[in-house]
């Protein structure tokens, strides 16, 4: 079983510019899920929405080609794909010749699906969409919709996750709200480098205390965990402490190494959010 410490994170890495699928490093999700009380089937659906901004290869005549890639990794997959290994893998396309963009897309889908579903009894696929340069101008920038919690003037004392800050008015009529914050920050599980993000919480149920929720989100500031793990921790803490009827948690993290990771978790089946970057991304 791969562990984060065995990955290339925090280590000098050789620059490989010829295609090499073995560079991908999957890490099982279950270890971190067990920490937050998820031992069987998770109480959520969703996916990790990746954007690759630095994708390039050579055409049959040796001319460089570029594209953006949107990758969708279902949260039902047994593994996350460690982001530095993903970057190194994408670099391996740089001096490799492919017939066309369709071949690149097919190779990405095959390799990423194998890594994400490695060890699964019934492997499935990830989604891969390539955007050619003539489509770049259609890529929008939009902030997460919702009421911004950052307007609240609160005192903050906790900088590691403090779920006890969460509460909801369980004796009052239920509400439906969408709340956002730009103050989410955590650190890489291995290197401790900062990860900056914005988060959107949509729910129906007892009204969540907004000041407590903001203080709780701020409490991730010195916490070391991967993006996907932080979002699942937020989901489980809100789900357990506030007891909503429905809940969705969506975070958009700023890119590192030409990649951004944007996990989405929801208590009920629904369409995934559009992979639209925020201004900070």
Residues with a known catalytic role: 188, 195
Bind-site residues for NADPH: 83-84, 256-257
Distance CA 10, CA 1 (A): 19
Bind-site residues for substrate: 81-83, 227-228
Give the max Cα distance, the chain: 69
Distance CA 22, CA 1 (A): 15
For every residue of 231-266, DSSP letters joined together read HHHHHHHHHHHH--SEEEEEEEEPPBTTEEEEEEEE
Interhelix angle 227-242/210-218, nearest 10 degrees: 150
Q: Which two tokens stand for residue 223?
A: 């916490």
64-74/147-148 β-pairing: unpaired
Which one-letter DSSP state was computed for residue 132?
-
Bind-site residues: 81-84, 227-228, 256-257
Q: CA torsion 72→73→74→76, rounded to 10°?
A: 180
Rg (CA), the chain: 19
């Amino acid at each position: 079983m791969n562990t984060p410490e065995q990955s290339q994170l925090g280590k000098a890495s050789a620059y490989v510019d010829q295609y090499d699928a073995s560079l991908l490093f999957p890490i099982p999700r279950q270890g971190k899920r067990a920490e937050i009380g998820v031992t069987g089937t998770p109480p959520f659906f969703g996916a990790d929405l990746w954007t690759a901004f630095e994708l390039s290869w050579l055409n049959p005549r040796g001319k460089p080609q570029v594209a953006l890639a949107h990758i969708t990794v279902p949260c039902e997959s047994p593994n996350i794909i460690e982001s530095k290994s993903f970057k190194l893998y994408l670099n391996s396309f740089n001096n490799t010749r492919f017939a066309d963009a369709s071949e690149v897309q097919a190779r990405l889908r095959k390799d990423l699906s194998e890594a994400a579903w490695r060890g699964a009894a019934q492997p499935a696929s990830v989604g891969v969409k390539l955007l050619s340069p003539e489509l770049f101008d259609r890529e929008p920038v939009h902030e997460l919709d919702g009421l911004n919690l950052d307007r609240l003037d609160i005192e903050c004392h906790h900088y590691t996750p403090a779920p006890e800050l969460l509460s909801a008015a369980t004796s009052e009529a239920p509400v439906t709200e969408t709340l956002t914050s730009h103050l989410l920050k955590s650190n890489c599980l291995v290197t401790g480098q900062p990860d900056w993000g914005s988060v959107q919480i949509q729910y129906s149920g007892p009204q969540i205390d907004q000041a407590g929720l903001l203080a709780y989100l701020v409490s991730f500031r010195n916490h070391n965990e991967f993006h996907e793990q932080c979002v699942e921790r937020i989901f489980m803490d809100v789900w357990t402490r506030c007891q909503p009827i429905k809940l969705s948690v969506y975070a958009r993290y700023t890119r590192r190494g030409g990649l951004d990771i944007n996990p989405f978790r929801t208590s009920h089946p629904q369409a995934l959010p559009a992979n639209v970057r925020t201004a900070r991304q």
